[in-house]
Amino acid sequence: MPGFGDIVKKAFYLGVGLASYAGEKAGGTLTELRSQFQKMADEMVARGEMTTEEARRFVEDMMKQAQQPPTSGTTAETTTPSEPRRIEILEEDEQPTAKATQSDDNVDQLRKQVLELEDELKRLQHDN
């Protein structure tokens, strides 16, 4: 039966091996990303959309962005809120709040704009 020292040694080697494997995978992914960015930049240079200096900076900037951890703003969007979204239930005899009234006004304005645009479109089609 292996001793406690052997178990600790094996656990340590397992951790080192996993870290090495993860590093190799990440390095391979970064190398693949760099080649894709370089290919895209080369195509843009060939089409005359950017200079070689701009292409070099583009590849460097993209690699820097790829190596940065995600910002907290993107993780906040993907996580679920800690409490449910609040909704307002109105009884028939209750008056809507100012926010609901403002929303109704915006909807009415948008409907009016859509009707005006439809009329203008019909007028332009008849003119042609």
The whole-model pTM stands at 0.38
Look at residue 96 in the predicted model and tell me its pLDDT.
60
Look at residue 73 in the predicted model and tell me its pLDDT.
54
Look at residue 116 in the predicted model and tell me its pLDDT.
92
Look at residue 21 in the predicted model and tell me its pLDDT.
74
Look at residue 100 in the predicted model and tell me its pLDDT.
59
Distance of CA 109 to the CA centre of its chain: 32
Q: Which residues contact 62 (CB under 8 A, 6 or more apart)?
A: 33, 37
Q: What is the pLDDT along the chain (128 residues), one digit of tens a residue?
A: 557 777 877 777 778 887 777 777 777 777 887 888 888 888 888 888 888 888 888 888 888 887 777 665 545 455 566 777 777 777 776 566 666 566 777 888 888 999 999 999 888 888 86
If DSSP states are collapsed to H, E and C, what string results for 6-75?
Answer: HHHHHHHHHHHHHHHHHHHHHHHHHHHHHHHHHHHHHHHHHCCCCCHHHHHHHHHHHHHHHHCCCCHHHH
